[in-house]
A and B are shown apart, each in its own frame.
Chain A
Amino acid sequence: MIWRAARELRAAGVLGMNRRNADYIMARNPRSRFPLVDDKVLTARLAEAHGVPMPAIYRVIERHRDIAGFERGLPGDGAFAVKPARGAGGMGIVLVERWGEEGFVKPNGTLVRREALYHHVSNILSGIYSLAGQPDQAIVQALIRPDDAFESVCWRGVPDIRVVVYRGVPVMAMTRLPTRASDGKANLHGGAIGAGIGIGDGRTRHAVHRSRPVDRHPDTGNPLDGIEVPHWERILLASARAFDLVGLGYLGVDQVLDREKGPVLLELNARPGLAVQIANRAGLWGRLEQVDQAPADIFASPEARVAWARRAFPGGTPAKEGT
């Protein structure tokens, strides 16, 4: 029974946690490069140098004495996001729509008093949200105004697109759609929906919600499959370039569609999770093996890698369950 299950998973090319860690993360991701993705300030600098669009960083707060009045003189329309440079899982992020004498107003309309936000930034600097609790920096970044592509299948919040990139080749992708259960956060553990996206055609398919297949968004009731992701080629190209940025062979690239700028890079992840396989109802291991067997010349440029990937993993009509 157990052996059969394991054999069938292997036949489907499903990647398990142990193999991901031992054969891909440890083999392909040098420890020395981890700080480049764990620290968003470093990631942003590299992205700028390589021409990968990211939300503009207005200010980096490093010292407690720089906190008071940091909002004055910010460019743009007064909207911004504050996040920890080394945060994980979306923790510690505060979005501000506008601000005035009385305090800061979040996109959902709630008011945050000035001192409360300053205290929050102070917490970020003390390392409350950083991975090992070491002192951190706070990033003040342009607020993303999400594209309406996913409006019908999104409950508040900002949906993001995760592309898993192996040796610079985009191998699998999904979009994470916030729900009421996830409180508007694009976090699968928190109850967001994951919908697989075909690398070749850039269309959604096979959504999962809390590890179970779903066809419609639980809050909006709209169908989840067949949505065409705009700027797909640009998203794939940026993902492929992210590999050149940080040199991590097994990489998760998170992007968001901004209404005006198109796809912008949100963050990189050196240990991307395996749920993307469930969202796509396909195994990752088989695709990684395919990349390892691909001819050497496809790795020459991001464009070549994307072109190869779109041919190798076309997407198209999903295989029906049970066939």
Chain B
Amino acid sequence: MKRPVLFLAGAFLLFPALLLGYRVAVLGYPFFPSVPGETWELQMEATLSRGPSRQGTLWTGLPPTGTGVTVIEEQFFSGPLDFTLYREGSNRVGLWYGAMEETEDARIFYRSVLRLRTPGPLRTPPQRAGPYPARAGREATALAQELVRRWEKLPVPTRLEAVREGARGNWGSPPPSERDRLRWAAVQRDLGTPTSLWLLFRAAGLSVRLAEGLPLAERVHTKAMRFLQVWDGNRWLRYDLESLQQISATAPVLPLARDGARAVQVLDGRLEGLRWTLTKRTPSHWRQHFDRIVRSNLFLDRWSYFHLPAEFQETFRILLLVPIGTLIIGLLRNIAGFPTFGVFMPVLMALAFRSTGLAYGLVIFTGVVALGYFLRRGLDRLRLLLVPRLSVMLTLVIAALGILALVGNRLGLREFMAVGLLPFVILTMVVERFFILVEESGFHAAIRTALGSVAVAVICYGLLHWERLQLAFFLYPELLFAVAGCQVLLGRYTGYRLSELLRFQALRARA
């Protein structure tokens, strides 16, 4: 390798090493920066119009504190209504109420910033078995206790399974008497499935609660998820109310209401346009852990990205990782010999997937490119000139994305609407290149290149989402020089590509 290249790469690698060493050894920065937990922002909006009693009253469950959730900031907007916040059992309640004019609707807004500790809000052990459902009468309670008596002696996890099977009608042998089963069916009809399940699990001495919450994912919810939580002696297990299947414990949920309460109850008036928006607030989460930097007067601390306004921090959190993405593309192309569409296309695809999520992003991309390819084939017969042809393709791609958004709105799929501004360029270019590749090198080569691009995009996506890496570059932006150093070294790699070992196999000089 040439000496100037090695010298430049060495300098690029040495500079961040020295600066990082100084930060760690002298300024006390962490060597492997990490921050436990997550910070989320919850927004709730709705419009309340008055009911027959000329009043409006709305009961809403708010994220509870002290269960792995810390409320850092809380705001509400009540318009003409009064607002009060209080505790009711294990729930935190926001109550909007007041007299309302006929013509005036009250816009309700609530916002809070929440810090979630890992392992999150699901690990708090229950104090005791908790209440019986208030609606269950004495007779129903006695029946439930009678039905589950047979499992009384079983250890908690086994008992839980047995009750669950019983609730689905598999009482085991000998089954309860025909009369008891008929009576239980009547109780179920009377109380409804959720409450009767609550009753049955509680009668077996299990800690159980009927809860509502929001799946903890960046999206807009118009309905809270209702589920049954049962303590198995170790953790809360969640069960779907319809199928009684266990809901994966790895999908975290932000609880809003427990012990049978609903997340939203309209006590008076009519509610419209209810929606919750959950957003992850990564930089402000980091900021809490690096408070020292924010307040420090040291030169390096004052020139930290933590001083940027919050919305720009969000940009740089991602932007600083893009060079690594291009380094990966370089590695895969020049060392592995992966075929990709263009140099930056996979990184741009990975960036576009950020707003839609990987799975939906891939589906949308595949769909639009396939559609675009057939349209492009049709257009080819018309023999349009280059620029107008690309414009037509662009218009068609945007129309496809527009239709997708409308369909997504009808189906309640936020991902179909969240495509953003970036993808249309990428999609149009991919369609054009895909078509040209099919024409010049055949369908197989084009598919191979498309798959190569997707594979690289998926790798880049994983990289851009790696929070510890984001934090490392955010805290130590000098690492960009190290990336540049690696890129320079890669630029002088003149050895074989892995794919060439296969391609030139017949030429190998066997010893």
Q: How far, in whole Å, are A146 and B492 apart by their CA atoms in the complex?
A: 43
Pick the contact of A321 from B385, B445, B493, B506 — CB < 8 Å? B506
B138 within 8 A of A: no
Of A17-25, A163-171, A293-301, the one touching chain B = A17-25
Pick the contact of B386 from A128, A277, A282 — CB < 8 Å? A128
B492 and A22 form a contact (CB under 8 A): yes
A189 and B445 form a contact (CB under 8 A): yes
Q: How far, in whole Å, are A229 and B500 apart by their CA atoms in the complex?
A: 30
A278 and B507 form a contact (CB under 8 A): yes
Which residues between 162 and 197 of chain A lie within 8 Å of chain B, taking CB atoms?
189-190
Question: Contact string, A93-108, partner B, CB cutoff 8 A, digits 1/0?
Answer: 0000000000000000
B498 and A91 form a contact (CB under 8 A): no
B493 and A18 form a contact (CB under 8 A): yes
A18 and B445 form a contact (CB under 8 A): no
Instruction: Determine how close the nearest CB of chain B comes to the CB of A187; give it in whole angstroms.
Output: 8
A6 and B385 form a contact (CB under 8 A): no
From known contacts A19-B495, A22-B494, A189-B441, infer whether A278 and B383 are also in contact, taking CB-CB under 8 Å: no
A2 within 8 A of B: yes
Instruction: For A10, list chain B residues within 8 Å (CB).
Output: 496
B495 and A18 form a contact (CB under 8 A): yes
A198 within 8 A of B: no
Instruction: For A189, list chain B residues within 8 Å (CB).
Output: 440-442, 445
Pick the contact of A123 from B337, B383, B498 — CB < 8 Å? B383
B492 and A12 form a contact (CB under 8 A): no
Instruction: For A120, list chain B residues within 8 Å (CB).
Output: 383
Instruction: For B496, list chain A residues within 8 Å (CB).
Output: 6, 9-10, 14, 16, 18
Instruction: For B497, list chain A residues within 8 Å (CB).
Output: 16-18
Closest to A280 in B: B507
A322 and B504 form a contact (CB under 8 A): no
A29 within 8 A of B: no
From known contacts A189-B441, A189-B442, infer whether A322 and B494 are also in contact, taking CB-CB under 8 Å: no
Pick the contact of A17 from B500, B506, B508 — CB < 8 Å? B500
Instruction: For B386, list chain A residues within 8 Å (CB).
Output: 126-128, 133
Which residues between 32 and 48 of chain B lie within 8 Å of chain A, taking CB atoms?
none
From known contacts A123-B383, A190-B442, infer whether A2 and B501 are also in contact, taking CB-CB under 8 Å: yes
From known contacts A91-B440, A123-B385, infer whether A211 and B503 are also in contact, taking CB-CB under 8 Å: yes
Q: How far, in whole Å, are A79 and B386 apart by their CA atoms in the complex?
A: 29
Which residues between 267 and 301 of chain A lie within 8 Å of chain B, taking CB atoms?
274, 277-278, 281-283
B334 within 8 A of A: yes
B377 within 8 A of A: no
B411 within 8 A of A: no
A16 and B445 form a contact (CB under 8 A): no
Q: How far, in whole Å, are A190 and B444 apart by their CA atoms in the complex?
A: 11
Closest to A126 in B: B385
Instruction: For B493, list chain A residues within 8 Å (CB).
Output: 18
B510 within 8 A of A: yes
Q: How far, in whole Å, are A100 and B496 apart by their CA atoms in the complex?
A: 54
Instruction: For A278, list chain B residues within 8 Å (CB).
Output: 503-504, 506-507
Question: Contact string, B471-511, partner A, CB cutoff 8 A, digits 1/0?
Answer: 00000000000000000000111111110110111111111
From known contacts A6-B501, A18-B497, A283-B507, infer whether A128 and B385 are also in contact, taking CB-CB under 8 Å: yes
Chain A positions within 8 Å of B, measured between CB atoms, are 2, 5-6, 8-12, 14, 16-19, 22-23, 89, 91, 119-120, 122-123, 126-128, 133, 189-190, 211, 213, 274, 277-278, 281-283, 321-322
